[in-house]
Amino acid sequence: MNRTVVKFLWAAALLAISPAALAQDATVERTSADMVEVRWTGAQAVDLYRAGLDDEAPAKAALVSANDRDGHETVAVPAGTRATFVLRNRADGHLVHAVERVIPLAQGSNFRDIGGYPAADGKHVAWGRIYRSGASPLLSDGDLTLIGTLGLHHLVDLRSDEERAIAPTRIDGVPYAAVGYRMASLMGTGPMHNGGDIYRAFPKLLAPQMRLVFDLLKRNDGAIEYNCSAGQDRTGFTTAMILSVLGTPRDVILKDYHLSTALRRPEFEMPKIDPAAFPGNMAAQMFARYQQNPAAAKPQPLMDANGRAFLLDAFAEIDQHWGSVEGYLQAEAGVTPADIARLRAIYTR
């Protein structure tokens, strides 16, 4: 049998496999400090391997469970390490990564990977390349060790000058960038969650930060992390712009956005503030009031009284004034259609 016929028969065999027979929707959730639950759907039987983010072949990985048919597996992992796995479909050898999205930090907040989401052309956002987070002034030494394994090459701080002054990051040794602005410009439209007004201001307010983030992404010289204080509003807008460019559906972007409510740990986003030590610092006065209000310690859903996500106000502003996210980023951040094609080539698999 000649090589062309063999290739044709192999391709036909793959096409004949029902999509339901392939492992999909693979997730890894931390259930305790040293245990995770791996779950997946679709495949009739898989081999589960413990593997690194860059491991594609099971030969490089440690077998955890063979011929697994029940769609889940509880796995022990050392505390303070990130759990990553590869599932190999036994029917055809198809490989799927299952990765712990939330970085398991002892004293961090909302630090997570945006990989794994569906992207353009049937691909998925690459794991281990783009991270989003809340502020990191109180990370433990163990947290810093774990973050050191992520291979970060850039850290972009989306916070105001005042926030950065009262809660500097503990992450050292990573090139750090920020665009200076005053807290007053952020709060000029009113309270953070007053009808989404501030989200409508984000496209203009954060345009310099979008140029910075996308310029670093275009450089493609290592993983990037960006953060604000809570890791939900400014960080949520930035993530929405990145995922939109990569072709992630808007409903998925909104699901990622809403994860922040459960994943925030406000007690680790800001040290105890003595407002007298920061006279004239609007952020210090504001966060000191929050720390005196027990209700502020509970993260609130990112939606208005009608259940509408605040992020939709930013999208509406973009659609009204620039026509699309692509139009906005080209006009305000210099991201061209050729850049978008290249970013998809780099950051999707």
Instruction: With respect to residue 165, please indicate whether it lies within any of the assigned structural domains.
Output: yes
Encoding tokens for residue 212? 């910075």
154 and 268 part of one domain: yes
Q: What is the residue-averaged pLDDT of the chain?
A: 90
Pure H helices in 17-160: 141-148
- Whether 79 and 148 map to the same domain: the answer is no
Whether residues 17 and 154 fall in one domain: no
Q: Say yes or no: 83 and 226 in one domain.
A: no
Given 45, 74, 99, which residue is the final one in a domain?
99
Could you tell me if residue 264 is inside a domain?
yes
For residue 230, is it within any domain? Answer: yes
Number of separate domains in the chain? 2
Compute the average pLDDT of residues 254-266: 97
CATH of the domain at 73: 2.60.40.10
342 domain-assigned: yes
CA angle 6, 67, 101 (to 5 degrees): 100
Say yes or no: 78 and 145 in one domain.
no
First to last CA, the chain: 33
Q: Is residue 106 part of a domain?
A: no
CATH number of the domain enclosing 300? 3.90.190.10
Q: Do residues 275 and 157 both lie within one domain?
A: yes
pLDDT number for residue 14: 30
177 located within any domain: yes
Examine residue 105 and state whether it is found in any structural domain, yes or no: no
pLDDT band, very low/low/confident/very high, at 299 (cuts 50, 70, 90): very high
- 158 CB burial (10 A radius; 0-12, 13-18, 19+): buried
90 and 145 co-located in one domain: no
Q: How far apart are CA 253 and CA 250, in angstroms?
A: 5
On whether both 343 and 290 belong to a single domain, the answer is: yes
| pTM of the predicted protein model | 0.91
The residue-averaged pLDDT of 112-132 equals 97
Which of 99, 129, 162 corresponds to the end of one domain? 99
Dihedral through CA 154, CA 111, CA 118, CA 177, nearest 10?
-20
- Among 47, 67, 99, give the residue marking a domain's end: 99
Same domain (yes/no): 283, 150: yes
Q: By the 8 A CB rule, do 44 and 21 touch?
A: yes
What local confidence, expressed as pLDDT, does residue 295 receive?
Answer: 83
> Nearest-5° angle of CA 207, CA 211, CA 212?
115
218 domain residue, yes or no: yes
Domain residues for the domain of 212 are: 112-347
Taking only the tens place, the pLDDT of each residue in 140-193 is 999 999 999 999 999 999 999 999 999 999 999 999 999 999 998 887 655 554
Do 241 and 343 have their domain in common?
yes
Residue 98 CB contacts under 8 Å (≥ 6 apart), including other chains:
26, 27, 28, 38, 40, 48, 84, 85, 86, 87
Shared domain for 92 and 178, answered yes or no, is no
